[in-house]
Amino acid sequence: MRSLRALAVFLALAACAPPPPTAYAPGVEQNFMRACEAQSTVPGLCACTWDRIEAGIAPADFAALEALPGPERQAHPLTQQIEGYALACGADLDGEVEPAAP
């Protein structure tokens, strides 16, 4: 009976917990764009990468990644996923970028 009561309490508490966010909080995109554009010289790369992040990574997962210390963040699989987005965007944009004049 105790375990049933404990389970009921646990389920009641779980029901009270707020659901994870389904949309990115205001400012997250701007922070990403600011940091990305400080490192990239490819026009459109950061916007393309952000679009893929927004479509493919849950806001709660992205926030958890951002909260990790540097070395843990670098080793996290989501970091590799985001780097893959950037590489794919770079390849997509490569055909759109005109070569520099000699």
Cα four-point dihedral sign 31, 47, 58, 86:
negative
pLDDT tens, residue order, the chain (102 aa): 454 454 344 444 445 555 555 799 889 999 999 999 999 999 999 999 999 999 999 999 999 999 999 999 999 999 999 999 999 999 999 865 444 444
* Cα-based distances in Å from 34 to 55, 57, 75: 19, 19, 22
| Distant-in-sequence, close-in-space partners of 79: CB < 8 Å, separation ≥ 6 | 65, 73
Contact of 72 with 64, CB cutoff 8 Å: no
> For the whole prediction, is pTM greater than 0.75?
no
Please measure the distance between the N-terminal and C-terminal CA atoms of the chain and give it in whole angstroms: 81
